[in-house]
Amino acid sequence: MGNNSIDINLHGDETGFLMIEHPIDLFFQEVELAVKIIEREIWNIPEGLDIEKYVFNKYVSFNQIETEVKNFIEEYCEHASEYIWDCKVSIMNNEYLIINFTIKDEHGDELTNNFLIKN
């Protein structure tokens, strides 16, 4: 896998680790930022996925949301090209939009993280 990267762990207080270095952990963090940011919230990324605008919009299908998420990740997440990955969108309790994100590691094992978005 590609280059040696390091980043501040956004959940350092919860995990006890202030820095993350493993590419899969970095990729999961990139995806988390992608689904949570809005336009112009991060320097040098003029667009933002702003997923909340889609939550429970009856004119937007799950397929459209998945396509938007995938396109954003492919364009802005540095580690996206290093792994086989996928995301699926669903609703939980008519209250949350769930983005189920799965990465296959170098051994073929699937690692999953769910991102909950509440309107």
Side chain identity, residue 94: N
What's the whole-number average pLDDT of the chain?
80
State pLDDT tens for residues 38-55. Answer: 666 666 666 667 777 777
More confident: 80 or 37: 80
pLDDT of 117 higher than 70 = yes
The pLDDT > 90 percentage for the chain reads 18
Which residues touch 23 (CB under 8 Å, ≥6 apart)?
1, 2, 5, 79, 82, 83
State pLDDT tens for residues 62-71. Answer: 888 899 889 9
Q: Where are the domains of the chain?
A: 7-39+46-118
Per-residue confidence (pLDDT) for residue 1, from 0 to 100: 46
* Spatial distance between the Cα atoms of 90 and 83, rounded to a whole number of angstroms: 23
Class of domain 7-39+46-118: alpha beta
CB 55 within 8 A of CB 49: no
Residue among 45, 39, 31 nearest 101 (CA) = 31
Alpha-carbon torsion angle 40, 43, 48, 52, nearest 10: -70
Whether the pTM exceeds 0.85: the reply is no
Side chain identity, residue 3: N
